Amino acid sequence: MKISESDLIINPDGSIYHLNILPEDVADTIITVGDPDRVSGVSKYFDRIELKKGKREFITHTGYVGKKRVTVLSTGIGTDNIDIVFNELDALVNIDFETREIKKDLTSLNIIRIGTSGAVQPDIPMGTILASGYGLGMDALMNYYIHELSGDERSLMDDIKAHFGHLKHINPYLTAADEMLLNTIGKNLPTGITITAPGFYAPQGRIVRAKNAVPDFIGLINSFNSGQHRITNLEMETAGIYALAKVLDHKALSINAILASRVNFEFSNEPNKIVEQAIKLVLERISA
Ligand SMILES: O=P(O)(O)O[C@H]1O[C@H](CO)[C@@H](O)[C@H]1O
Ligand SMILES: O=c1cc[nH]c(=O)[nH]1
């Protein structure tokens, strides 16, 4: 079935609407980062850069790490942007732009986020590089998609609903990391449940001047447990990435550079150093 011109917008040069890139510009291994400036922080380690393109906050560099072709792409902040990036990446590989039809042979991308995050457990200090075992969304993105839970996700979700059920403004969603990526790129890293919040301040329990509606949100978050599972950190994209990757049949893993300890009220004075360590770790493991 032909996808309409208003559902899938292709620019006059054949590129996809927001990302402004062509199907051939995308590698099968993709690193996403929030900060557009972090794209060159990743591609500076490429052995060869093939292309640099961009529009708005969506900057793309594609090149080679050893023999592996890799795309690094910035998403900007938030799961509203993840909606755009994931639908457009999927269209670039799985829709024929000439016929506007879904291809017969679908491509499953390997997508690794390198992001920054704040820890909510006292034993996860600033400087930790953490792999998200699960993404728990507190934002509204997945209210708009059909998203099914595996058995494992369902039992964890039951405990999450019991713990957070009194917060009537949220409809949380949960997705596990891709197991293969977790066991390779995320090997031996600390893991846990990452909460994806729809904001940086009150939605992450920060108190500045406005009054927060949820008292002691950090305490509520870090007191959750379900078997060996606990919530380790907060950021703003991972749950959307995991959920849309699953819906669209891609593989995803989120690697978090922990810049803040929310329980110790600390924020790193060397954030770039921690991010750099996360970038190097991911690139070494991608090219191994
Ligand atoms: O450093 P990035 O990847 O942007 O990730 C984190 O930093 C931003 C907030 O400062 C949010 O996007 C959050 O998820
Ligand atoms: O605490 C933090 C740190 C980085 N990014 C976030 O979203 N939260």
Residue 256 scores a pLDDT above 90: yes
What confidence category does residue 131 fall into, taking pLDDT thresholds of 50, 70 and 90? very high
Listed by start position, the domains of the chain span 23-287
- The whole-angstrom separation of Cα 72 and Cα 49 is 11
If one counts every other C-beta atom within 10 angstroms of the C-beta of residue 254, the result is 30
Report which bound ligand comes closest to the CA of 74.
1
Q: What is the pLDDT of residues 74-123, one digit of tens each?
A: 999 999 999 999 999 999 999 999 999 999 999 999 999 999 999 999 99
Ligand 1 mutation target, pool 31, 35, 196, 233, most atoms within 8 A of CB: 35
Determine the distance separating the centroid of ligand 1 and the alpha carbon of 256, expressed in angstroms.
10
Ligand 1 residue neighbourhood (C-beta within 6 Å): 33-35, 77, 115-116, 200, 235-237
pTM over 0.95: yes
Cβ(62) to ligand 2 under 6 A? Answer: no
CATH of 23-287, one of 3.40.640.10, 3.30.2390.10, 3.40.50.1580, 2.40.50.100: 3.40.50.1580
Model ipTM? 0.99
- Average pLDDT in the 46-71 region? 98
CA-CA-CA-CA torsion for 191, 70, 270, 81, nearest 10 degrees? -80
Q: Max alpha carbon distance in the chain (Å)?
A: 55
What pLDDT score was predicted for residue 288? 87
Ligand 2 mutation target, pool 75, 82, 117, most atoms within 8 A of CB: 117
- Average pLDDT in the 42-65 region? 98
